Structure formats: C-alpha cells, structure tokens
Amino acid sequence: MDSAPLVPVLSSMAAIQQALAEETERLVALRFSSDPAAVDCVFMDEILARSAARVRRFAVVYGVDLRQVPQAARRFGVEAWRPLSLQFYYRKRLIKVDCGTGDTARLTRPVPSVQQLVDLFEVVYRQALRGKGLAMAPFRL
C-alpha cells in the first residue's frame, strides 16, 4: 500500500510549467526523483514537509516523480539515476546554490535538519530578491 506523498507532486510537464509560471513572489523548490521510496528521498521529503510551515510565506515545495514525467530530467538537467535532486526557482529562473559539493545547479544530498533547510531557503530567497543567480549555503553538505 502506497502512503500519501509528504510533499505535493506535479505529475506532468504542464503542471511543472504552470507552478513555475504562476508563482511570482515565492521560491519554487522542485524535488526530482526517479525513486521516491529511496532512503535519501524519503528523508529529504520528511525534512521538506516538516519545514513547509516555516517557509510558506516565501517558498513552496513540489515533488516530481521522473517515472511519471521522464522529460523533466532533460528539461531541468537532472540525472534520473540520482535518488534526489533539489532545485530552486524564482520567477521561472534557476537559483544556483553552493553547498560545497561542486554542483551548484542542484542539491543531490539530503539536508540533515529542518533548521538547516529553513536557513537555506531564507538565504536562497534573499539572494533571489536581489536578482542574484547564486546563493552561498550557510552550511556544507
């Protein structure tokens, strides 16, 4: 029996494009995965769900199952074999994040705590408001 997803899931390219286009004041975080039941993905979804109330004024989070929307991997430049990839968008623009992993276009490791994720969302949002395309994470993964 499948349990309900912890974060809202976008199940088509049209839904993804609509979410990015309609959100003009908040960050849109997209969590991509080809295996939402993978340990890292489940852990990250739990952290995302637990932080949602604290970031709802300035961010919204969606999951994208790459098995349902395989073209999203190519469109958003994520590798389908990774358990998770998290990307941030502001007004349809990718906001890169430097967490010390070398890959600034996406986070591919789960953030260890709710507070660290909230801090990350705040930093990314502030940089996006300033028109910056790169945010320095307040921690290293």
Of 58, 101, 92, 93, which is closest to residue 84 (Cα–Cα)? 101
Predicted local distance difference test score (pLDDT) of residue 1: 37
Q: Is the pTM of this model over 0.85?
A: yes
Percent with pLDDT over 70 in the chain: 97
Please give the mean pLDDT across all residues of the chain.
95
Q: What angle do CA 15, 72, 117 make, to 5 degrees?
A: 80
pLDDT confidence band for 5 (50 / 70 / 90): confident
The pLDDT of residue 15 is above 70: yes
Task: Report the DSSP beta bridge partners of residue 90.
Answer: 27, 93
Give the model confidence (pLDDT) of 40-80 as tens digits. 999 999 999 999 999 999 999 999 999 999 999 999 999 99
The pLDDT of residue 4 is above 70: no
pLDDT confidence band for 2 (50 / 70 / 90): low
Average pLDDT over residues 103-119: 96
Predicted local distance difference test score (pLDDT) of residue 141: 87
CATH 3.40.30.10 fits 9-136, yes or no: yes
Of 114, 58, 117, 57, which is closest to residue 86 (Cα–Cα)? 117
Predicted local distance difference test score (pLDDT) of residue 18: 98
Give the model confidence (pLDDT) of 84-103 as tens digits. 999 999 999 999 999 998 99
